[in-house]
Amino acid sequence: MSAAASSTLRSARRILAEPLGALGIFLVVLVIGGAVFADLIASADPNKIAPRDRFLPPSLDHLMGTDQLGRDLFARVLHGGRIALSVALFATAASLTIGIVLGLIAGYGPRWLDNLMILVFDALKSFPTVMLALALVTLFGPSLTAVVVVVVLVNVPGYARIIRTQTLALKSAEFVTAAQSMGAGAGRILRVHILPNVIGPLLILASMDIPVVIAIEAGMSFLGLGVRPPTPSWGAILNDGFTAIRDTPWIAVAGGLPIILTTLGFTFLGETLRDVFDPRLKRRG
């Protein structure tokens, strides 16, 4: 087994050894499995309207009940998982890429560029998320695109800042000076020498941000600023169940429960990842 593979296996075992880590992995696998195999697990069509089956409580036919339009909530929840996860994945990937590039430039480039970028980041960070969402919805209309753009704008300043700080610290490291002395250009230095050494903590942080991304998507959909009906976003389901909560609480549960479980799962997993990879804690025998 190669060195990388065996160390990954060791890390995986370490994560599973922590109770929260094991729980986190379990929940995350549950959510991902549910989303990927949604069609196999729930045979019902999530968008099929059946007026005669409105507001049915949970039963064997409808594991989570039905909503105000008679749609099977279990199927909607599983398909909603696809939306949540695809937004999470795509938006996080985009935020990471943009954040890393900007951070590297800010850290390694000339002082004036750094100052300018910090100004922009701080300005962006000072916007409350909801206001950003509202502003962007006027541009893109309520849609998945709007959600992704909001997530990116919210995450990029923080990621870029982290990369920038690390880059600044490494800029004067001796191995970077050695590379400059050899004749390596800025591009090579950033790509080969700096990036691999700064990216680690950021990846862990990003994985801990996934619950936040999911919450943003759910929140925007709840407010009607995200995916349009009839798309079964969890936030939309929560919105549907919100008004009917006194008489038919299971709708709100169907919307809220997956959000809670997913958030908890990713948070536990992320925190355990961070602890496992913390070099200072590694020395415990």
Partner 1 sequence: MILSVRDLQVSFPVGRLMQRSAILGVAGVSFDIAAGETFALVGESGSGKTTLARAVNLLQPISAGEITFDGQRIDGLRGATTKPLRRQMAMMFQDPVGSLSPRMQVRDIVTEPFRVHGVQADLRAEADRLLSLVGLSGDFANRFPHQLSGGQARRVGVARAIALDPKLIIADEPTAGLDVSVQGEVLNLLNDLRERLGLAMLIITHNLHVVHHVADRMAVMYLGRFVETGETEAIFQAPAHPYTAALLSANPEPDPDKAKDRISLPAEVPSLLARPRGCEFHTRCPWAQARCTTEAPATQGADRRVACHFPLSPGARPPAIRETAQ
Partner 2 sequence: MTVLSIHNLNVTFATEGGELHALKDVSFEVPERRIVGIVGESGCGKSTLINAILGLLADNGRVSGGEILFQGRDLARLAPREMNALRGPQIATVFQDPMGALNPVISVGRQMTNIQYRSGLSKSEKTERAVAMLRRVRIPDPEAALARFPHQFSGGMKQRIAIAMALMMEPALLIADEPTTALDATLEVATIELLQELQAQIGCSVLFISHHLGVIAELCEDVVVMYAGEVVERGTTRQVFHTPRHPYTERLLDCDPARQSSRTRHLPTIPGEIPDLRDRPPGCVFAPRCRRRAPICDTPPPEEAVQSGHLARCHMVTT
State the nearest-atom distance from the C-beta of 270 to partner 1, in Å: 23
- Is 110 among the residues that bind partner 1 (CB under 8 A)? no
Q: Is 280 in the site for partner 2 (CB under 8 A)?
A: no
Size of residue set near partner 2 by CB under 8 A: 3
Which partner from the list partner 1, partner 2, none does 284 bind, CB cut-off 5 to 8 Å by kind?
partner 2
246 binds partner 2 (CB under 8 A): no
* Residue 46 tokens, joined: 């999530």
Nearest residue (CB) to partner 2, 17 versus 245? 17
Q: Among partner 2, partner 1, none, what binds residue 182 when CB lies within 5 to 8 Å by partner kind?
A: partner 1
Specify the residue, 107 or 241, whose C-beta has the smaller distance to partner 1. Answer: 107
HSE of 244, CA atoms in CB hemisphere, 13 A: 21
Asked if 285 is part of the footprint of partner 2 (rule: CB under 8 A), the reply reads: yes
Say how many Å lie between the first and final Cα of the chain, rounded: 24
Omega prior to 230 cis, within 30 of 0: yes
Nearest to partner 1 of 22, 184 (CB atom)? 184
Site for partner 1 in 164-223 (CB under 8 A): 173-175, 177-185, 188, 192-193, 196-197
Binding site residues, partner 2, CB under 8 A = 283-285
Binding site residues, partner 1, CB under 8 A = 173-175, 177-185, 188, 192-193, 196-197
